[in-house]
Structure 1
Amino acid sequence: MPGEGSMMSANTSLKNNRRNRTSKLEKFVNTTTNDSIEFVDPNTATPEELAAIRQRMQEENKVIQKKKITLTFSILVVILITLAVLNCYL
């Protein structure tokens, strides 16, 4: 049959690509390990380490939430001021 050779080479290429790929865990470890943060495997973490991680994440989420509230409030104030100025001149 014509075209079988091209499919075989495509299958071989896919198999080779799959072999050359790094695992997801390996990529995760490589991207999160730096000088200040040490990778903690959640399967072997102690309860104290998990509590510290949970605490750090809660603090980060509070900071993000405060930024969102501040931004929303600022946008609302700008909109109200703009409407007030436009109302005076119209």
Structure 2
Amino acid sequence: MGGEGSMMAANNSLKNNRNLVAKRKEKKALSGSYANLKLAKFPKATPEQLERIKKKIQSDNRQLRRKQIVIFGIIIVIIVSFIFYFKS
């Protein structure tokens, strides 16, 4: 019956892939203990600080959005001018 060779190749490919996954699990990057690790103490943020950070991020995002719109507009004007220049 036809197709045995292709089925055997598929089975071998699946077997090899399974073996690769097993090797990857053995070599974990973060193996070890965290018992002697000292955690840093960070101060708690006040609501005023959080509000100030929020407003700063919003203003930065607004400025970035304006720059993107201006650059996009310039690019569109250049493309349209090229189209009209080469059309006529």
**TM-score, structure 2 as length reference:** 0.54
Matched letter for residue 84 of structure 1: F
Deviation (angstroms), 1:20: 7.3
Distance (whole Å) between structure 2 residues aligned to residue 50 and residue 76 of structure 1: 39
- Over 3 Å counting, the alpha-carbon distance change for 1:20 and 1:65 in structure 2 is farther
The higher-RCO structure (CA 8 Å, 6+ apart) is 1
Corresponding residue for residue 73 of structure 1: 73
CA distance in 2, matches of 1:20, 1:70: 52
Gaps of 5+ in 1: 1-6, 30-39
Matched, 1:58 2:58: yes
- The aligned residue for residue 30 of structure 2 is 17
Runs of 4 or more above 2 Å deviation: 16-21
Give the structure with higher Rg (CA): 2
User: Does the residue aligned with 1:18 lie in a helix, a strand or coil?
Assistant: coil
Identity %: 22
Equivalences, count: 60
**How does the TM-score come out when normalised to structure 1?**
0.53
Residue 32 of structure 2 aligns to a residue whose secondary structure is helix
Root-mean-square deviation over aligned CA pairs: 3.1
Structure 1 residues 20 and 81, CA, compared in 2 at 3 Å: closer, same or farther? farther
